Amino acid sequence: MLLVAVAVSPVLCAMSVVQLLGLAAAGLVRLAEGTSHERPSQWLLVLALAAVGGLCGFALRFGPAAAAACAVTLALMTLIVVFDAR
């Protein structure tokens, strides 16, 4: 999806970057768990969830595949944060 987005449109490339940053924020929350950086990373995640959620609505203009990619990213972000395999 990323390689296709780069070749198709700069807007789709920017959308892919926002999605990757959202996934990185979700991973950062897991890494910061139990440290002094936990609260700032949680606020960063809230902002990232809002950005990717808003992007889901914006992506509808580019067709169902773009909207589905945003929705999957949002679901993955939630799963990364919530899932605990201990």
The beta-strand segments (E) located in the chain are: none
Q: What is the pLDDT of residue 63?
A: 85
Confidence of residue 2 (pLDDT cuts 50, 70, 90): very low
Among 65, 58, 55, 64, smallest CA distance to 22 is for 55
Q: Per residue in 3-54, pLDDT tens?
A: 454 456 788 888 889 999 999 999 999 999 889 999 999 999 999 999 999 9
Q: Cα–Cα distance between 42 and 66 in angstroms, integer?
A: 27
* Residue that the structure tokens 């679901």 belong to: 75
pLDDT of residue 8: 64
Burial 61-85 (b: 16+ CB within 10 A, else e): ebeeebbebbbebbeebeebbeeee
